[in-house]
Chains A and B, each alone.
Chain A
Amino acid sequence: MIQAILVFNNHGKPRLVRFYQRFPEEIQQQIVRETFHLVLKRDDNICNFLEGGSLIGGSDYKLIYRHYATLYFVFCVDSSESELGILDLIQVFVETLDKCFENVCELDLIFHMDKVHYILQEVVMGGMVLETNMNEIVAQIEAQNRLEKSEVSVLGP
């Protein structure tokens, strides 16, 4: 199961934090910080998996991360997830973001936090992978957007 999904930029500023297991606020922040330091000191050309740490759930967890331009996408998962599978899930997630935002960048994540969360909700629900089919996810998101527009037009005049 996925324990947490963290997205932060190259300076360690969190851009998306989603925990599927309850941690106190300060612990969450600490996890983000420590994860950032762990990930930061790794070169781009070494493997995308990190193991062993005392952050979440002891030894039975690993960090799987990908680095895109200015953002790190880090998934904290336990041993029941496949490493490469998650790696590709990150790719799916990012590609979906890209489709929904048209050339997604860090600013999109800042200004459309809620949307990012909705997209994430379609991909991962309660720590479980819900949907990996990119078209399906985009369809869901678009349905919601349509709804939003119709509501606005109803309320607007």
Chain B
Amino acid sequence: MKECMVRLIYCEMLGYDASFGYIHAIKLAQQGNLLEKRVGYLAVSLFLHENHELLLLLVNTVVKDLQSTNLVEVCMALTIVSQIFPREMIPAVLPLIEDKLQHSKEIIRRKAVLALYKFHLIAPNQVQHIHIKFRKALCDRDVGVMAASLHIYFRMIKENSSGYKDLTGSFVTILKQVVGGKLPVDFNYHSVPAPWIQIQLLRILGLLGKDDQRTSELMYDVLDESLRRAELNHNVTYAILFECVHTVYSIYPKSELLEKAAKCIGKFVLSPKINLKYLGLKALTYVIQQDPTLALQHQMTIIECLDHPDPIIKRETLELLYRITNAQNITVIVQKMLEYLHQSKEEYIIVNLVGKIADILVLNTVDTYAPDNAWFIQTMNAVFSVGGDVMHPDIPNNFMRLLAEGFDDETEDQQLRLYAVQSYLTLLDVENVFYPQKFLQVMSWVLGEYYYLLDKDTPEEVLTKLYKLLMNDSVSSETKAWLIAAVTKLTSQAHSSNIVERLIQEFTISLDTCMRQHAFELKHLRENVELMKSLLPVDKSCEDMVVDASLSFLDGFVAEELSQGAAPYKPHHQRQEEKLSQEKVLNFEPYGLSFSSSGFTGRQSPAGISLGSDISGNSAETGMKETNSLKLEGIKKLWGKEGYLPKKEGKTGDETEALPVPQESIIMENVDQAVTKKDQCQVLTQSKEEKEKQLLASSLFVGLGSESTINLLGKADTVSHKFRRKPKVKETKSGETTSAHSMTCSYFSSSSNATYEDDYYLDALQDRGDKELNKFSLNSELLDSESLTELPSVEKLSNCKLSSSPSLFTDNNMEGFHPSQSTAPSVAPETSLASSLLEETSEHMHSELVEVCHNETISVSSYKIWKDDCLFIVWSVSNKSGLELKSANLEIAPAENFKLLRYEPASSSHSPACVLSLALSLSCQINKYIKSLKKKKDQPGTKKNKQNRASGLKMELKPPHGHPQADSGCRRCRHHHQEEGHDPEEPEQLRKLFIGGLSFETTDIL
């Protein structure tokens, strides 16, 4: 029998029906010997559930076993009680189990406590009287019993924390003992004393200390202790740490502890173990509201997590970003969310994410962050088309309300609506695209309400589209109602339209009664234009309809009917009651009698009439307006004008701030790219990725607290220090500590740690630095094994003044530099053009002369010079042909950001052609020299054109129109470094192309 039962359990587990054996399981538990009983109990607990009828048969057995003297039987009974027990039968066993709390065996006490906990869960009122016994259990001399009682307390404190404040002291004492290692050694797990008990205690403390300074003060010490004690050697210590951090942030804050906790979060986030990273992100999400600077510290990690292969991590990151959304980073964050949205397939995730995006966009009642109308509408479109049918119904409603209600500024509203109308029209233009029903509904509403904004004479065009949709089978009837409502609204604006005619014809014979009714309404309204105009005013969706709810206009009619002998109206419930009472009576009375008295009253009352009038009043569109407008009352206005205009400015400010930086670096990068060898590509790619991330980071984390100002400060520092970065000193001086420090601490860590925005300059250097870094690497601080091997070649190369490099770089914190792995760059151009180096070059440290591009006639090369206080970028144009070069043009656009100078070839070889004062943030001045070697050429000039765009940077170098080589000049080589090759010929080719036209698209910062 026992064996059979085990097999039965197995079958049941595999999903086969074993219900025939349930009764045998109970029998076995009742009658068998100890072993069989055990199997029987097990089978019962697996087969049955709390409300199963057979379970009642077990109660007696349980009671008997609880009274048994055999420990094992008692154990089994307690186990089954804590697994499943019918609620009604609790009183039968409760006293027995209470007795067991005093049992001499720990295991029994422990199980009894848990059984009581179970009772507390399913029937809290029945165990109220034994709370005092729980306290006893908490003070039990056995650790296991105490641990079991923690479950109960956790639960009870969660429900009502104020009632248990007096226990804080005991919990703290227990935790102190546990942390101090006072427990028996066998409770240690991987030499951590009773980690699970610690976790539980920390959680309880967190609940107790929430918003309560007095109780929190009691636990500061012990929290500090456990933070200190938790040496990071095992997973489970991380678990304790995590709980600690959680608790520290839950309770009344204490700055010292917060600081320590923040450090711990850092450990989590930076951990290579993914589990810990996940928890770190979770912790960040939790604390982000209290301390946004913390996210700033870890922004690079967060950015990395955004591209993490693990979708769970990704989602957690998005959750984190969702919490830090503000006016300046909303576009980036929402874009990231949309990307993820497009990738994910699980419905749960989609619903969740769509809700969040819409929440950011629409529901944020304080102020909506959307930077501009177009973006807002487009994002909403994306949300609707992806989330569509699974999204929460509030979202489209809120969206429409927002459109209807608008902001304080009327013209702004009109623009938004106009844009919405336009975008929907274009969306509907696309053939064979299936939009979710909810999206179609929103579209039809918007088109119906606001089409007039387009200022077209007739809405013929849009009517056609709506008609097409109406004829589409895939559109649900609910959506069709929306569509036809829109048509009706448009008809009131159109004078005559055969499409409407056709539509009416089509749908007055529709099988769908709802559609048919709408069609008839439309038809009648068309016949009475006046009524239609008054019924469907243009742009009045926000105004309240005056509805005479009492239907007073029917009074005369009612009176007339009454006078003619109709029964007075009875409300619905009254009729219902009468009916019921009559039915009851009916049971006892003969049939014939009841007829005369029954149900007559209700029928002829004006109810039918008033219902009819209701229907006509509630014709779809008015009904809609009504609901729309009625709902609006008392709801706060969203999207206040003040709410987002200033932020727009902030946005542009950010861009200009961010842009000049990459510009500089990109020029250099490009220069380098043109000549770098294969193996350098890798480094470049990395650095570029880095930069992208940096940009992303900067765009994501702008406006978090006061940090942006700090960063600006940092940049300013670098300017004034001429490449000597001492942000640490500076920033501590300025009293704002957090932002940049861990960076400077992380020696030799990969450049991904170069997170902070004031390290822009560093990155710029890094990007351009393939060659230069070789020299820096002589600085012993920066050496690692890789660069050591390259050292000889570097030295060979270095015709630069090495002596100057230590003076520049010894005392600064350049650890962000990753010693370059690149080999020596090509020096070929240098040899041929060495003579063209500026005189002052020799006095200062400078880079190799690098050929940017060339053709048969001219070649352009560049190099950099570091002086004490500035960086020169020298562009030299050498003319190889015999023709005369008349002029060279360097244009840098837009003019706001740069001074624009035109440089005529002159005898002087190093007059500054233009001074770029890179606006706002750029940490250095760049003096640009153009050295054009005057030879003979009839070529009108070479134009360098640097374009600065909002989305990134573009640098073009192209010969002027009319040049013989214009053909090649028009060819644009879109050059990504990945393309750059493993093919040795490719750089050569590229260079040729560059002479014709060169365009780099760099990181989109959006």
* A interface list, Cβ under 8 A from B: 13-14, 16-18, 20, 22, 25, 28-29, 42-43, 45-54, 59, 80, 82-85, 87-89, 92, 110, 113-114, 117-118, 121, 125-126, 128-136, 140, 143-144, 147-148, 151-152, 155
Contact = CB atoms under 8 A, between A and B. Distances in A.
A47 B82 contact: no
A22 B50 contact: yes
Nearest to A23: B49
B773 interface: no
A125 B83 contact: yes
Nearest to A48: B275
Question: Most chain-A Cβ atoms within 10 A of its Cβ — which of B194, B235, B312?
Answer: B312
A84 B275 contact: yes
Contact of B46 (A13, A18, A89): A18
A130 B239 contact: no
Contacts of B278: 47, 49
A133 B35 contact: no
Given A84-B242, A92-B189, A130-B111, A54 B275 contact: no
A108 B118 CA distance: 31
6 contacts: A25-B17, A46-B312, A52-B315, A59-B352, A128-B82, A130-B144
A110 B9 CA distance: 11
Nearest to A45: B274
Contacts of A128: 82, 114, 117, 148, 151
Contacts of A43: 309-310
Interface string B230-250: 000001101100110000000
Contacts of A117: 9, 42, 46
Contacts of A132: 147, 187, 189, 194-196
A140 B312 contact: no
A25 B279 contact: no
Contact of A53 (B17, B83, B315, B348): B348
A47 B274 contact: yes
B313 interface: yes
B79 A125 contact: yes
B33 A155 contact: yes
B924 interface: no
Contacts of B196: 85, 89, 129, 132
Name the residue in B15, B118, B203, B242 with the highest tally of chain A Cβ atoms < 10 Å from its Cβ: B15
A144 B73 CA distance: 11
B14 interface: yes
A46 B274 contact: yes
Given A82-B243, A84-B279, A114-B38, 18 more contacts: A22-B50, A43-B309, A47-B278, A47-B310, A47-B312, A52-B349, A54-B348, A80-B154, A82-B199, A82-B242, A84-B236, A84-B242, A85-B196, A87-B235, A88-B235, A129-B151, A132-B187, A151-B34
Nearest to B242: A84
A129 B148 CA distance: 8
B345 to A, nearest CB: 11
Contacts of B431: none
B83 A133 contact: no
Contact of A118 (B38, B186, B243): B38
Interface in B333-348: 346-348
Nearest to A152: B35
Interface residues of B, number: 64
B83 A113 contact: no
B34 A83 contact: no
Given A14-B14, A47-B277, A117-B42, A88 B114 contact: no
A82 B312 CA distance: 17
Contacts of A143: 72
Interface of B: 6, 9-10, 12-15, 17, 33-35, 38-39, 42, 46, 49-51, 72, 79, 82-83, 107, 110-111, 114-115, 117-118, 144, 147-148, 151, 154, 158, 186-187, 189, 194-196, 199, 203, 235-236, 238-239, 242-243, 274-275, 277-279, 309-310, 312-313, 315, 346-349, 352
Contact of B279 (A46, A83, A113, A118): A83
A114 B110 contact: no
Contacts of A121: 42, 79
A3 B138 CA distance: 25
Contact of B275 (A47, A140, A147): A47
Contacts of B277: 47
Given A126-B83, A147-B72, A85 B195 contact: yes
Q: Which 3 A-B pairs have the closest CB atoms?
A: A84-B239, A22-B49, A46-B310
B196 to A, nearest CB: 5
Max chain B Cβ within 10 angstroms of own Cβ: one of A85, A140, A152: A85
A147 B34 contact: yes
A147 B49 CA distance: 29
Nearest to B184: A133
Nearest to A140: B107
Nearest to B194: A132
B195 A51 contact: no
A50 B238 contact: no
B148 A133 contact: no
Contacts of A49: 275, 278, 312
A113 B39 CA distance: 10
Contacts of A59: 348, 352
A66 to B, nearest CB: 11
Contacts of B348: 52-54, 59
Contacts of B35: 147-148, 151-152
Contacts of B347: 54
Nearest to B274: A47
A2 to B, nearest CB: 11
A82 B200 CA distance: 9
